[in-house]
Each structure stands twice: as structure tokens, then as C-alpha cells.
């Protein structure tokens, strides 16, 4: 019974990351105009940033559950390192793209600031996490990658909250709120996980 909740939570994370990553690549089959008309203007005005973002951010999201899978990390550390390089590179390019999209967004200053801050923190936490891994500082690496993962997961929380916020607050206010709400609570949860892990006796699994 005690193992049921963590398993259910982990299944939800796997399914939501992989489904949203796959759904994000719908533009490859349908084209941008048809599959995401509300952001199609970015494809004309800043195509490099746009395609780097929508092509590569889903790579980071799809890799996320693999990187947090303890069994894989323990059995195949080499694979974890290679997938980690892919995760970092995907975030470097799609995060810079996301920053350019946020600056060029026509949705208003408050949502643009929310997405801009998210992009900077995404790049910063991931960069710091990888830098620490390269220096063998694995406890700190783990902490910063938990923060990075919480921000990558914003792609999921955004799409969970958006229909509810649009229905209750309307599109303008709903979008303004989701630009912050998709990641700030995720970071709070990440900090709570880190705090809980710090209190755990050494050797007990996370
Ligand atoms: C975590 C940092 C992220 C930031 C700062 C960010 C930022 C943005 C911005 C500013 C836009 C354009 C929205 C607009 O102009 O109104 C956008 C669109 C998009 N982003 Fe991200 N994003 C992030 C993560 C992700 C991830 C991890 C995915 C993976 C699925 C993703 C997939 C997309 C897609 C597919 C679009 C096109 C619109 C849509 O289908 O929702 N983004 N993003």
C-alpha cells in the first residue's frame, strides 16, 4: 500500500511528460498555422528562436523522467551522463529561444516577464547543475537538477492549468496568471523536496 502513491505519482509524471512532448511536435505533421495558430506569428518574426524552442524544449521534457529514474542512473551511469548532455543542450537552445519568444510576445508585459524569468531560471539552474556534475559535486548537482526538472515540468503544469484559468478568468487574465503559476509553485515543491531530503538520515532513499 505504502508503495502505491509514489508509483502512481511516478506513472503520472512519465505519462504527462511523454504525452506533452509528443503533442508539442504536432507542428511537424500539421504545420504551425494549423496546430498552434495563437503563436504562429513567432514563426514569421523570429523563426530561429521559435523552432529551436518548439523543436527542442520537448526533447528536454521527454528526457526528464529518464534522468530522474534512479534504477537507470544506478545501472547505466554512462547513459545518464549522455542523456544529461542532451537534456542540457536542448535546454540551452530552447531556453534561449523561449527567452526571445517571451521578449517578442504580444501577450503583455506581465506574462512576458513571467516567461522571461522562467527562461532565465531554467538556463541558470540547469547550467549550474551540469557544472556541478562535471566537478563531481553530486549532492549539489542533484539539488540543482531537481530545481531544473521542476521548471521543465512547467510545460505540463501550464497545460493543466490553462483550460481551467481560461474558463474561469478569461483568456487575458488567465494567460497572465499562468505565465507565473506554471512554474512558481513547482519551485516551491522542489524546495520542499530538498528540505525533506536534507532532514532524512543518511542512506535512506529519497
Ligand atoms: C521552462 C522554460 C520555458 C519557457 C520560458 C517557455 C516559453 C515559451 C514562450 C514565451 C512561448 C510563446 C508563448 C507566447 O508568445 O504567448 C512558448 C511556446 C511554446 N512552448 Fe515553451 N517555454 C518553456 C518550456 C517549454 C517546454 C519544456 C516545452 C515542451 C513541451 C515547451 C513547448 C512549447 C510549445 C509547443 C509552444 C508553442 C505553443 C503551444 O503549443 O503551447 N516549452 N514557450
What is the per-residue DSSP string for the chain? -TTHHHHHHHHHHHHHHHHHHHHHTHHHHH-HHHH-GGGHHHHHHSHHHHHHHHHHHHHHHHHHHHHT-HHHHHH-HHHHHHHHHHHHHHHHHHHHHHHHHHHH-SS-HHHHHHHHHHHHHHHHHHHHHHHHHHTT-HHHHHHHHHHHHHHHTHHHHHHHHHHHHHHHH-HHHHHHHHHHHTTHHHHHHHHHHHHHHHHSPTT---
Average pLDDT score over the chain: 95
Say what the pLDDT of residue 205 is.
52
Residue 98 CA, closest ligand 1 atom number? 7
Q: Decide whether any atom of ligand 1 lies within 6 Å of the 177 Cβ.
A: no
Quick one: pLDDT at residue 204?
Answer: 54
> What pLDDT band is residue 140 in, cutting at 50, 70 and 90?
very high
2 falls within a domain: no
Q: For residue range 76-108, what is the model confidence (pLDDT) as tens digits?
A: 999 999 999 999 999 999 999 999 999 999 999
Is 205 inside a domain boundary? no
Closest ligand 1 atom to 27 CA? 35
Residue 81, domain member (yes or no):
yes
The count of structural domains within the chain is 1
This prediction's pTM: 0.94
The answer to whether residue 31 is domain-embedded is: yes
User: 206 in a domain, yes or no?
Assistant: no
Amino acid at each position: 500500500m505504502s508503495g502505491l502513491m509514489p508509483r502512481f505519482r511516478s506513472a503520472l509524471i512519465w505519462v504527462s511528460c511523454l504525452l506533452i512532448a509528443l503533442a508539442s511536435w504536432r507542428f511537424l505533421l500539421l504545420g504551425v498555422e494549423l496546430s498552434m495558430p495563437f503563436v504562429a506569428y513567432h514563426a514569421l518574426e523570429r523563426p530561429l528562436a521559435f523552432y529551436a524552442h518548439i523543436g527542442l524544449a520537448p526533447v528536454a521534457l521527454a528526457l526528464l523522467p529518464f534522468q530522474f529514474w534512479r534504477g537507470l542512473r544506478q545501472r547505466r551511469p554512462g547513459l545518464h551522463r549522455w542523456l544529461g548532455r542532451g537534456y542540457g543542450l536542448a535546454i540551452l537552445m530552447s531556453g534561449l529561444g523561449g527567452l526571445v519568444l517571451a521578449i517578442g510576445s504580444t501577450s503583455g508585459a506581465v506574462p512576458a516577464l513571467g516567461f522571461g524569468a522562467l527562461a532565465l531560471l531554467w538556463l541558470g539552474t540547469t547550467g549550474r547543475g551540469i557544472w556541478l556534475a562535471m566537478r563531481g559535486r553530486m549532492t549539489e548537482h542533484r539539488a540543482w537538477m531537481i530545481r531544473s526538472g521542476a521548471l521543465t515540468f512547467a510545460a505540463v503544469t501550464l497545460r493543466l492549468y490553462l483550460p481551467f484559468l481560461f474558463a474561469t478568468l478569461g483568456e487575458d487574465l488567465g494567460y497572465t496568471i499562468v505565465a507565473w503559476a506554471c512554474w512558481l509553485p513547482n519551485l516551491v515543491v522542489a524546495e520542499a523536496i530538498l528540505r525533506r531530503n536534507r532532514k532524512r538520515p543518511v542512506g535512506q532513499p529519497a
